[in-house]
Every structure is written in C-alpha cells, then in structure tokens.
Amino acid sequence: VADVDQSTPMTDQERAVLAAIEERREDLVQLASDLIGFDTITHRPGDDPRAEVRLQEHVAGRLEACGAHIDLWEPSGADVAPHRQVPEEYSFVGRPQLIATIAGASSPRRLLFNGHIDVVPVEPIDRWTSPPFQAEIRDGRLFGRGACDMKGGVAAMVFAVETLSLMGITPPTSLVVNTVTDEETCGAGTLASLAHGLSADAAIVPEPTAFSAYVACRGILNLYVHVTGRAGHATVHQPHWRDGGAVNAIEKAAIVMRAVELLREDWSRRGDLAHDVLPPPSIVPTLIDGGEWRVSYPSACRTFYDIAYLPTQVDAGGGGGRVREEIAAWIANGTCHDPWLAEHPPRLEWGNDIPPGHVPPSDAIVQCVLEAGALVRGSASLGGLDAWHDAASLNRVGGIPALAYGVSYQDSDGRSLMHAADEHVLVDDLVACAQVLALSALRFR
C-alpha cells in the first residue's frame, strides 16, 4: 500500500498536466462517449464484424494528430493458432488491431497502454434507461455499454497521451497505445498484437479496478463432463442394470456434481492455495443438458463446468495441465464407488484453457502506478481480479510486466457495473484514471 507521504513530490510540470486533464474533462467525456457510440459487441464465430474498424480508425486518427506512428492491421487467424485459449480457425476479418507509438525524449524504454474495445452483449435491453450505444450523462455518471468495462479506460489512456502531446511534453520513455478486440471471449486481439511484434518494458491495462493496482488474475478452464445412462420407460419398473434395467444419466451426473462440489470446498480451505490478492480456485456447474423425453430414463447427460485457477497452480507451460489432472483424479475417486460409473466412467471433454497471469508487486511499473495513484487519489493498494483479463497475456506470452489499474466497478450500492444493464462510470473516475496514467507516463523510467 502506498500513500502520498511516501511518494516523490510532484513537479510543477506534473501539477500542470493533472490540471490540464481536469480542465479538459468535457473533451474526455466526449471521447468516451464517441467510443461508446460504436457498437463493438464482442465477436462470436460466424457473426459479421461490427463497428470495430470505425472505432480503431477514430482512435488512430486522434493519436496520429499527436505525432504517433500508426500501425493498424488485420491479423490472420494463423497468428494466434498456437494458443490453446483461442478457438480453432479463428478469423479477424473486419476486426483490426491498433498499435500507436509516440517516441520518448531520452530513454529507449517503452511504456504500453493496452485496452480492449469489445464489449459484452446488451441484453436484457429492456433494463436499460437509455440506449446502450448512445452515451448519456446523468448525475455525474456516463452511461452506456462499455463505459466501465472498458471504453472509459481506453478513453482515459488515449486522453492522457493526447494531453501530454497538446502541452508539448515528451515523456522520457516512448508511449505505446494498443487497442484490441476479442478480449471478452478469449484474449485473441492482444495475442495477435504480440505475434505482430508488440513489445514494451511495462504495461498498464486500464480495466476497472476501483483504483487498486491489480497484480494478478485467475486463469479459466472449460470442461464438459459427459455421463451415459441407459434408456427405458420411466413409469415401468426397471430391473437392476446388470439384468438389463434402465439407468438414469441425470442422477449419475448428480454424483459427479457432488464430487466436484467437495473439490471446490477442499480448494476453498486449503492453505497451499491461499493467495495474497486472489480468492481460492473454483469450479462451478453452469449448464446442464440431459434427457430425451418426459417418460424415458435419460440416456445421457452433459454438464458444463466453469473453472478458475490461480497463477500458483500452473503447469510447466504456464497453463492448467496440473489442475486438469487434479480434477480428473478427483472425479474418478468421487464416482468409482458407484458400480455403474465404475464400469461407465464419466468422459471429460476439456475446452479452452486461458492461463492466469501475475506481476511481482515489487516490479517498477507496479510501484510507479501505486505512487501515481497515491498522488492523485490520496492512497493506492494492491489487488487482483477474480476473472481474467489481457494483462495475463502481456505478462505470460509477451514477457511484459503488466498490471491493471482503472475506474470503479461498483456503484454506490455495491452493485457491479461491469457487464450490467445501465453500465456507467463516474466522470470523476475517468478524470482521475487519465491523471494517474499521465503521471505514470511522466515518471516511468
């Protein structure tokens, strides 16, 4: 935890930059509103592109006017094919990525701002007070899809760079702005940027973190468990299955589910899985699909499990191999007492593995952001994200020390704003986020 007393005092130039961002807050709100106005709902395979090109060109145009070198390109699916976290035969048609670079004054080092421009779908649309892609200010808050996660953060990072440029200030290190697509599904945009040559000495991802420096996030595993039974008339008395009787696949799936529940309880109490800034790993059934007819024993049941695992649980390759083995062994042990399941073991179908990430709190960029956060907001603390975000790829694949730092993710009643109807961000938060990013840019060496 950093507080103002321990920070290097601000220079007159730094004070002037913070004041300029405050004075230009209307422009910042306008930029965030412009970004919200582009429908960039995240890509589902088979969907047409949305307004990704227009948004990226809008950001590129503004940064080019600041003297940035612009690289706006459409990746090929082959660029991300080596990554298990990306579905096979991925396409980026109509969804370009942007890398804009502004040369630094003295240092060969580079500071990266990375943000995703895709947003989650807007349903349930009838819960919105104003149209999700038409930004609206009410009571000091900017409403619209992505206001919080994370077009507000993208606006703040672009605005920080722009303000420095307008004031004629060149920070010591080069500034790299990378706006990407496909974060909400699998992180393909940042992976494609890394494959394209994106590199830096440190990165800040302005995801909503309530002004906490998020130094870690959990990884995600997807699992389908298939259980078979044997069909038969549900209302007709059935003999033992060894004598040809029917077997209820849904009831057998419940045995798997109970075993998984015990694993989750075990994980939540195990000392070796306690983490400084993250909750324990979890495994939760979220979809179930079984049975064929109201009056038949279900012959098959498929259950989807959403799994989150810790950076401390990764295998030698940085992924979830060890976690997969542990889950498979636990399910085998928890179901083998059932004679049917012993002879017809559940089949595990593993889907995406999106590995976790972390950066040491002692790293220069974390200390830099903590200090800048303390100067702008009075204090700053460390934290972590239960879910996943692109900083994990920057750390793990790019070897770039990266953390997330940005606006609040809850309203005053504690309700989550991310992925919610009436998503919004406090305008004051946007201003503070841009100020911390600009100050970090001035101070990073």
Report if residue 227 touches Zn ion, rule: CB under 5 A. no
Task: Tell me if 122 sits within 8 A of 41, measured CB to CB.
Answer: yes
Pairing of the two strands 300-309 and 174-180: unpaired
Alpha-carbon dihedral sign for residues 427, 157, 276, 367: negative
Could you please report the per-residue DSSP string of 154-191? HHHHHHHHHHHHHTT---SSEEEEEEES-TTTT-HHHH
β-strand pairing of 357-358 with 212-217: antiparallel
Burial 309-324 (b: 16+ CB within 10 A, else e): bbbebbeeebbbbebb
| C-beta of 93 vs 387, nearer to Zn ion | 387
Closer to Zn ion at the Cβ: 104 or 115? 115
Rounded to a whole number of angstroms, the minimum distance from the CB of residue 419 to Zn ion is 9
Q: How far is the CB of 183 from Zn ion (least distance, A)?
A: 6
What's the closest the beta carbon of residue 238 comes to Zn ion, in angstroms? 51
What DSSP character marks residue 311?
G
- How many CB atoms within 10 Å of residue 163? 24
Point out which span in 56-64, 144-152, 223-231, 296-304 binds Zn ion (CB under 5 A): 144-152
Q: Which residue has the tokens 């979830």?
A: 320
Q: What angle do CA 183, 88, 391 make, to 5 degrees?
A: 25
Q: Which stretch binds Zn ion (CB under 5 A): 25-33, 59-67, 150-158, 378-386?
A: 150-158
Q: Please, what is the minimum distance in Å from the beta carbon of residue 389 to Zn ion?
A: 6
Q: 149 vs 182, which CB is nearer to Zn ion?
A: 149
Sign of the dihedral through C-alpha 230, 232, 234, 235: negative
- The residue range among 43-51, 53-61, 147-155, 289-297 that interacts with Zn ion, by the rule CB under 5 A, is 147-155
Q: Which is nearer to Zn ion, 223 or 426 (CB)?
A: 426
Interface with Zn ion (CB under 5 A), residue from 52, 149, 162, 423:
149
Per-residue x/- track, 229-268, Zn ion (CB under 5 A): ----------------------------------------
Judged by CB under 5 A, the number of residues near Zn ion is 3
C-alpha span between 380 and 361 (Å, rounded) = 13
Strands 141-143 and 424-426: antiparallel
Give the up-direction half-sphere exposure of residue 188: CA atoms within 13 A in the CB hemisphere. Answer: 30
229 in Cβ contact with 297 (< 8 Å)? yes
Minimal distance, residue 116 CB to Zn ion, in Å:
6
In the bound state with Zn ion, the residue whose beta carbon lies nearer, of 192 and 259, is: 192
Site for Zn ion, residues 54 to 113, rule: CB under 5 A: none
Among 100, 128, 124, which Cα is nearest to 113's?
A: 100
User: Which residue in the shown chain puts its C-beta closest to Zn ion?
Assistant: 149
Specify whether the backbone of 36 is left (phi greater than 0), alpha (psi in -120 to 50) or beta. Answer: alpha
Task: Cite the active site residues.
Answer: 118, 183
Q: Taking CB under 5 A as the rule, does residue 422 contact Zn ion?
A: no
- In the complex, least distance from residue 149 CB atom to Zn ion, rounded to whole angstroms: 4
Q: Does 150 bind Zn ion (CB under 5 A)?
A: yes
Q: Which stretch binds Zn ion (CB under 5 A): 50-58, 148-156, 399-407, 431-439?
A: 148-156
DSSP code for 120:
-
Angle at alpha carbon of residue 40, lines to 35 and 43, rounded to 5° = 155
Shortest distance (Å) from residue 148 CB to Zn ion: 9
Burial group, residue 137, by CB count within 10 angstroms (0-12, 13-18, 19+): middle
Nearer to Zn ion, 150 or 249 (CB): 150
**Given the complex with Zn ion, which of 200 and 404 has the nearer CB atom?**
404
365 versus 385: smaller Cβ distance to Zn ion: 385
Interactions with Zn ion, residue window 178-217 (CB under 5 A): 207
Site residues, Zn ion (CB under 5 A): 149-150, 207
